[in-house]
Chain A
């Protein structure tokens, strides 16, 4: 059967398509890069002064605007192509934007701009004590390198930008480097990302197949497609945080300053998704097993990520694990899409990839929002420990309201944006099930795991929001919390607004993303998708109307009646106090207990004893099972081996000369021995 959407295998020589009209379209992109590099330099020179913060923030906002324009035009179909001379081995500075690049460029610019604004005041109290300039320089470099990554059209350029991205984000994570756990996190991150890149090197070399490393000419050798796909899964999956490779993510994201966590979690890990999509474009028609592989990885990451998130007690760590979950969801969408492509089911393909791309955008929005809000909480209370917070909604209404929106959105509830993308994936899965055949099982996996994930995510975020923002404060610092200044409130509220807007205007977003999807899934089923989403947004609007109407009724009914205030009804208990509230740990306990086998949660329980028990406590801890059960032992094994070998270097000269003698004898005998 003819597969949708795939151009035939590219020719080895760059195709002689007429150069797209560049002039003004490239201009914004060049402006973006120029602003960023100039800003980085300026910030670096300003050093510890507070002005560095202002420069960095302004630069990132301006660049964000440029990026939105440039990406938007490319998404709208005004592609451009730019080649500059660059003399490095095998490399050329060749950037171009097609709708896919444009889409990611938009997402990146949006979030980086807003987080830049947030960071301005967020870092202010470090002025004079830390080198703000360096931090902002790396922030802008991160922005720039991401922009290059999604537009690069030469493998070497791509890899350089890729590594620059990792490096700048690493140095950003290291901002508060006196804390030992930060250094550990940085180390883990560096190791993971660097080892991941090794796979990418091999992947690109296999794709190049001895030829040039320009994307136009990349195409796998016969039969190498599967290998390339697997390498891409590992290489890009490390950055994206696919399941067995996610271990760096929950370490690094909490360690960074919050606006950086937002960028890393919101968009940087998405570059892994971009890389995967780009590779799929280069690879040509996919066999079914790629789809199933992605589905498997996605389901595992999603379920495992949300479970681990549920077991966390630290707000930012919880959010970090949710990034793993959402990456899993995106992978599910891509898997559905790939199955659709391979089984020739256009609707399924379109739904899957639209869902994946929209979720990339949506996750960027609400995860950015959540991390920034968490940053405000940290800023106000100096702790991210759930069980020391509480009652913040009264004290920081703006942040709390935004966080609520974000929580509902990330749990995929209507009428917010999270539901739109998940709905697309569900619908794709459902269409596969309705269509039957082998792909249907993919649909089953997707639907089942999505259902489980969303249920658990709901549990997790009712916990996060409920414990942090509702009830009574559990510590003095929470008691004294207050909303941050405007420049920190604004981005959060803008993002919250975006969550609602994207939820109501799902079809418009889908229509906008359609060109990007068309490259992979073919544009044929796009109208159907948009039409489907109109139903969703219609329902969302209706829901809003209903709520408004009911609220009105309630107001009407209560008018003129006594509305009193009192303590919470605690079933007759005389003196309810803040310490009697349910805590995060107790809230999550039933589910965590249920999955203890996979989570490896440890519990330190001190039972109350005697007639008048003094103190009793229960403390649970859930580390990362893979890190603790798989990676640490592996590293330890290598270290053990190395330790066994150290006697070779005993310090005895005689021994060393013996090595030389043996080497020469062995080689001589091996090469010449016996042969007459």
Chain B
């Protein structure tokens, strides 16, 4: 602050940015979520032109704009950790009390890793390349958190 700035009339007022929202997953996203919810299967989409299996799914290939609507393939519910971080700052938007692990997990059969929660192991023991498997949620949130978390498993 400049030293000559007169702040005698300055103060702050608390408020919010609070508005209701309704998000639609669309046909492709919905199929992924309902399959996850009802069958505990994780689906990907395959772009033949880019020779890539993408998870999460998308209707259009981001890279070549090819239509991927009907190019579903199932990927495994097991995979390996390719990267991770430990979230240690508490905040209201976080799904868990800190600390918790956010890992990038490459599922069997997928070419692109997804980010998810890794639990069942102390954060300091998490390592790249470890094998993990999905633990499915008991109640649906209609999001990727129908996988509750991933946990370590035998390779």
A binds B: no
